């Protein structure tokens, strides 16, 4: 059992997204899985360049992205993975730029433009998205972030296998709120929440990691039927 985790935060150590990912990987390891962590911000790569090489009828292999850069080797390793855990901060209501570019390159080569839109990924594996964000849980729907989360969940479910979401809200952005612009925040409440709630988020991440390593892949939610004609 091989679990791959991807950190889509440029803050590679100690901060919110990486801390949750590390907890998830510990959970996966505790369940006997081999774990790998990929720091997306260490890699030099682009998003999909719309070359459509992966859709050519004359292609030699399915599920291969023709773009050659630092992501190429990582995408090769995904072929052997049994679970994917993708962590990202929310930037302007969506995944970080590196995460978006990664998701495009990860998913599009496996998308078959067939009537049932089936995936070319040969197995069903567990997937999960860990989102960390500054806003509170109550604001997610008000600000429409739930649409982003639902779309990515559906996309991963369709290409690879059921996707679990873990949302960590009202995160700490700075270690010292007195040194940065922060007028709009209640810094005491932020510190308190980080102390009280973030450890619970870490525990949820650990448990998610255990589930990711279980090998039991639930059915993804059904994809709505689209008629492109």
Name the β-bridge partners of 119: 111
Using a CB cutoff of 8 Å and minimum separation of 24, what contacts does 174-181 make?
A: none
- Rounded distance between C-alpha atoms, residue 6 and residue 49, angstroms: 21
93 near ligand FMN, judged by CB under 6 A: yes
Q: What are phi and psi of 207, to 5 degrees?
A: -65, -35
Nearest to 34 by CA among 87, 77, 75: 77
152 near ligand FMN, judged by CB under 6 A: no
Q: Which is nearer to ligand FMN, 134 or 214 (CB)?
A: 134
11 near ligand FMN, judged by CB under 6 A: yes
Q: Which is nearer to ligand FMN, 46 or 142 (CB)?
A: 142
Q: Which is nearer to ligand FMN, 133 or 156 (CB)?
A: 133
Q: Which is nearer to ligand FMN, 73 or 146 (CB)?
A: 146
Q: Which is nearer to ligand FMN, 18 or 107 (CB)?
A: 18
Q: Which is nearer to ligand FMN, 70 or 137 (CB)?
A: 137
- Residue 202: count other Cβ atoms within 10 Å of its Cβ: 19
173 near ligand FMN, judged by CB under 6 A: yes
Please report, for residues 29, 123, 127, 163, 205, the alpha-carbon distance to residue 157 in angstroms, rounded to integers and kept in the order given: 23, 12, 7, 5, 19
Span 131-150, contacts to ligand FMN by CB under 6 A = 132-135
- Rounded distance between C-alpha atoms, residue 93 and residue 133, angstroms: 9
Name the β-bridge partners of 221: none
17 near ligand FMN, judged by CB under 6 A: yes
191 near ligand FMN, judged by CB under 6 A: no
CB of 203 to ligand FMN, least distance (A): 17
113 near ligand FMN, judged by CB under 6 A: no
> Applying CB under 6 A, which part among 10-18, 32-40, 179-187, 212-220 lies near ligand FMN?
10-18
DSSP code per residue over 125-146:
-EEEEEEE-SS-HHHHHHTTHH
Q: Which is nearer to ligand FMN, 5 or 90 (CB)?
A: 90
167 near ligand FMN, judged by CB under 6 A: no
15 near ligand FMN, judged by CB under 6 A: yes
194 near ligand FMN, judged by CB under 6 A: no
- Rounded distance between C-alpha atoms, residue 35 and residue 150, angstroms: 26
- Rounded distance between C-alpha atoms, residue 149 and residue 165, angstroms: 8
Binding site residues, ligand FMN, CB under 6 A: 9, 11, 15-17, 89-93, 132-135, 171, 173
């Amino acid at each position: 059992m091989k679990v791959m985790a991807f950190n889509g935060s440029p803050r590679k150590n100690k901060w919110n997204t990486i801390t949750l990912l590390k907890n998830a990987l510990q959970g996966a390891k505790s369940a006997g899985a081999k774990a790998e962590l990929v720091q997306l911000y260490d890699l030099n790569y682009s998003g999909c360049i719309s070359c459509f090489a992966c859709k050519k009828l004359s292609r030699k292999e399915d599920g291969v992205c023709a773009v050659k850069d630092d992501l190429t080797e990582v995408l090769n390793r995904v072929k052997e993975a049994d679970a994917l855990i993708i962590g990202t901060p929310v930037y302007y209501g969506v995944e970080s730029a590196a995460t978006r570019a990664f998701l495009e390159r990860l998913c599009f080569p496996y998308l078959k433009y067939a009537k049932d839109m089936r995936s070319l990924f040969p197995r069903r594996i567990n997937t999960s998205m860990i989102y960390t964000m500054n806003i509170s849980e109550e604001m997610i729907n008000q600000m429409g972030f739930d649409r982003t989360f639902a779309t990515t969940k559906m996309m991963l479910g369709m290409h690879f296998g059921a996707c679990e979401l873990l949302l960590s809200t009202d995160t700490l952005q700075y270690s010292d709120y007195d040194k940065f612009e922060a007028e709009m925040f209640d810094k005491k409440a932020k510190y308190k929440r980080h102390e009280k709630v973030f450890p619970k988020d870490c525990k949820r991440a650990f448990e998610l990691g255990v589930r990711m390593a279980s090998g039991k892949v639930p059915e993804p939610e059904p994809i709505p039927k689209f008629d492109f004609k």
